[in-house]
């Protein structure tokens, strides 16, 4: 084995020289130089100062403006909550541990940090699944006279939490486990070992199948059907130009959110699967650290995409920040009015037969 396995940890370095020590008790500067830990801490601090304000603002603006309280926005609001859980539960912890060069909070802290970081990521993915199904129902109209309403949105939010908990609770109760990974100052699922009594293999297969491949299949199917339907509707001019434009804009926004999620999480998932299928092979601490920490940047993607692509939300946000007045009102007025219902009436409108 090219790593050192200990009680609830796996350090990616052979202990032939005897220098490997517990990442819960000693700095891990023998893995990488201290400046690398400082850079890691600075990066996580950057994500906090970007991720917290923009996700909190998303919550506040949506609650403050009644016209934003629509079924579709409930799901987007849930995304912001998931991202804030990542920021508070995971990022703040990692900034502190990076400053010390090891996971100073012990096993309990490791479990909590990994739980919140994993919960946020899985919850976000299932949110994107619900959004893709909502877009498919609204645009493709597979069910006659179906209205995606508030109750459906609430059930969708509850579903994302149930699925996220179904992925993150098992390692806390003995089906797999959370351990320090990469540079040993943040924690995640144990892809690295076949530790006796934890059934890591079955959990990793379950996680990749149920919480990665199945969601990707559902999203791909929904958007595949959706793209075909939008093209057909545009060619046949079945709906008004305003409705078509609104549906296209909302759909484009949700698809870009999905692409952003893939960009952030696919490298991490790929590396994790490689490590799982090549246990015992040689790899350095940075090999897992880079994709793991890049994945955390997803907490900033969704609200930025939402602000950039949703005129109504952008208008409300600027109004909130400028104490009730929008200095760009004249410039955005026409376009905001025209597409004002792009994320509300489109998702909550009655769906008649095609």
Alpha-helix residue ranges (DSSP H) falling in the chain: 34-64, 71-86, 92-100, 106-135, 150-168, 200-208, 214-236, 241-277, 285-295, 298-309, 311-321, 329-338, 345-348
Which of residues 267 and 235 earns the better pLDDT score? 267
Confidence at 234, pLDDT banded by 50, 70, 90: low
Which of residues 303 and 237 earns the better pLDDT score? 303
Give yes or no for a contact between 189 and 114, defined as CB atoms under 8 angstroms apart. Answer: yes
Confidence at 62, pLDDT banded by 50, 70, 90: confident
CA distance 328 to 331: 5
Q: Is 177 exposed, middle or buried (0-12, 13-18, 19+ CB in 10 A)?
A: buried
Q: What pLDDT, on the 0 to 100 scale, is given for residue 336?
A: 45
Structure tokens at 182: 């990469």
Q: What pLDDT, on the 0 to 100 scale, is given for residue 334?
A: 45
Structure tokens at 79: 């995304």
From the centroid of its chain, how far is CA 201?
24
Q: What pLDDT, on the 0 to 100 scale, is given for residue 246?
A: 67
Q: Which domains does the chain have, with CATH numbers?
A: 32-346 (1.20.1070.10)
Q: What pLDDT, on the 0 to 100 scale, is given for residue 68?
A: 85
How many residues in the chain?
354
Which pairing describes strands 186-189 and 9-11: parallel, antiparallel, or unpaired?
unpaired
User: Does residue 3 surpass a pLDDT of 70?
Assistant: yes
CA distance 135 to 215: 15
Confidence at 350, pLDDT banded by 50, 70, 90: very low
Per-residue pLDDT reduced to its tens digit, 132-147: 898 888 878 777 677 7
Quick one: which of 32, 61, 126 has its CA closest to 343? 61
In this prediction, residues 220-244 reach a mean pLDDT of: 72
User: Does residue 1 surpass a pLDDT of 70?
Assistant: no
Q: What pLDDT, on the 0 to 100 scale, is given for residue 24?
A: 96
184 is in an annotated binding site: no
Per-residue pLDDT reduced to its tens digit, 267-308: 999 999 999 998 878 888 899 899 999 999 988 887 888 777
Confidence at 160, pLDDT banded by 50, 70, 90: very high
CA distance 254 to 92: 28
CA torsion angle 272 275 277 279 (round to 10): -150
Which helix (DSSP H) or strand (DSSP E) does residue 5 occupy?
strand 4-6
CA distance 181 to 186: 6
Confidence at 78, pLDDT banded by 50, 70, 90: very high
201 is in an annotated binding site: yes
Q: What pLDDT, on the 0 to 100 scale, is given for residue 313?
A: 82
Q: What pLDDT, on the 0 to 100 scale, is given for residue 27?
A: 95
């Amino acid at each position: 084995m090219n790593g050192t396995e200990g009680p609830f940890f796996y350090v990616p370095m052979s202990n032939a020289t005897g220098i490997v020590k517990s990442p819960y008790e000693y700095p891990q500067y023998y893995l990488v130089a201290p400046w690398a830990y400082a850079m890691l801490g600075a990066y996580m601090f950057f994500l906090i100062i970007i991720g917290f304000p923009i996700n909190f603002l998303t919550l506040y603006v949506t609650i403050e403006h009644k016209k934003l309280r629509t079924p579709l926005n409930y799901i987007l609001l849930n995304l912001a909550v998931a991202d804030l859980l990542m920021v508070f539960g995971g990022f703040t912890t990692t900034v502190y541990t990076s400053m010390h060069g090891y996971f100073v909070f012990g096993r309990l802290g490791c479990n909590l940090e990994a739980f919140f970081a994993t919960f946020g990521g899985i919850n976000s993915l299932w949110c994107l699944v619900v959004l893709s199904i909502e877009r498919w129902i609204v645009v493709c109209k597979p069910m006659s006279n179906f209205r995606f309403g508030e109750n459906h949105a609430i059930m969708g939010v509850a579903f994302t939490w149930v699925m996220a908990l179904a992925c993150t609770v098992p390692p806390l109760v003995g089906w797999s486990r959370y351990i320090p990974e990469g540079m040993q100052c943040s924690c995640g699922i144990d892809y690295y070992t076949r530790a006796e009594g934890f059934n890591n293999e079955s959990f990793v297969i379950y996680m990749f199948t149920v919480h990665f491949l199945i969601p990707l299949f559902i999203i791909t199917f929904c958007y595949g059907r959706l793209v075909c339907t939008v093209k057909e509707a545009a060619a046949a001019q079945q709906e008004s130009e305003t409705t078509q434009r609104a549906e296209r804009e909302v759909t484009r926004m949700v698809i870009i959110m999905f692409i952003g999620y893939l960009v952030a999480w696919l490298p991490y998932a790929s590396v994790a699967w490689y490590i799982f299928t090549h246990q015992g092979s040689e790899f350095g601490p940075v090999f897992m650290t880079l994709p793991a920490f890049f994945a955390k940047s997803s907490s900033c993607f969704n609200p930025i995409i939402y602000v950039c692509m949703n005129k109504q939300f952008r208008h409300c946000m600027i109004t909130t920040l400028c104490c009730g007045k929008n200095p760009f009102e004249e410039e955005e007025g026409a376009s905001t009015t025209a597409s004002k219902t792009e994320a509300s009436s489109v998702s909550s409108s009655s769906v008649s037969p095609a």
